[in-house]
Structure 1
Amino acid sequence: MKNIINQLINDEAGFIVSAELVLISSIAVLAMIVGLSEVANNVNQELEDVGSAFSCIDQSYMLSNAHGHKGCTESSSFYDQSDFCSGQWDVQ
């Protein structure tokens, strides 16, 4: 029994493998956190661009004197004012 305990105490075969595994897994976790943070920032920027594009849509276009089935019209106009928070950098 004393011989088996001494063999277990002196056995270091799995130590190097487990230390390398901890080092590699911690590097992988840190890289994943940085990568997901960058993905989140880029998705946020793209959604901000989509919101800015929607705010640039002209909502005041109108047709005057539109007639029946043949689609006859005589004039059209638009008037657009800038909306609240319609700038490109307003969405945070």
Structure 2
Amino acid sequence: MNMLSKFWNDEAGFVVSSELVLIGTILVLGVVVGLATVRDQVVQELGDLALAISNINQSYSFSGVTGHTSSVAGSIFDDNLDFCDSNTDVATDEPACIDVQITAIAGE
């Protein structure tokens, strides 16, 4: 019975364990929020990269060349706009065809 009363009255580890639970909870919440922010920023940067790649001018042309014994006809390629492209794309725009935000529905 003496040993049971010693265990009952012993509070040496209580403060340390409750502090560790509190610190662990705060760290886990911070990591979750941080990872969500990293995810959103990675998606944003990948969208910006896609926007930059879509604005590369891919058209080319060369005129005909005539030599002493041969000739080559000219060729041309014109890069038309894709379904996600627009003529007003600037660096501060949201990424083309990527929507990261979800609008709130009233009443929910």
**Smaller-chain TM-score range?**
0.7 to 0.9
1:79 and 1:25 map into 2 onto residues whose CA distance is 59
Q: What is the aligned partner in structure 1 of residue 60 from structure 2?
A: 61
**Which runs of structure 2 are paired with 1:39-78 in the superposition (5 Å)?**
39-66=38-65
SS of match in other structure, 1:13: coil
CA RMSD of aligned residues (A): 2.3
Instruction: Letter of the 1:20 partner, please give it.
Output: E
After TM superposition, the score normalised by the length of structure 1 is 0.78
Relative to 1, partners in 2 of residues 1:28 and 1:85: Cα closer, same or farther, differing over 3 Å? same
Runs of 4 or more, structure 1, over 3 Å off, are: 75-80
Deviation at 1:77, TM superposition (A): 6.7
More helix by share: 1
In structure 1, list runs of 5 or more residues that go unmatched. Answer: 69-74
Relative to 1, partners in 2 of residues 1:9 and 1:61: Cα closer, same or farther, differing over 3 Å? same
After TM superposition, the score normalised by the length of structure 2 is 0.68
Write out per-residue CA displacement over residues 33-62 of structure 1, whole angstroms, 9 at most, x where no aligned residue: 111111111110000001111111222221
1:14 and 1:32 map into 2 onto residues whose CA distance is 27
Relative to 1, partners in 2 of residues 1:14 and 1:64: Cα closer, same or farther, differing over 3 Å? same
Matched residue count: 85
In structure 2, list runs of 5 or more residues that go unmatched. Answer: 68-73, 87-94, 100-108
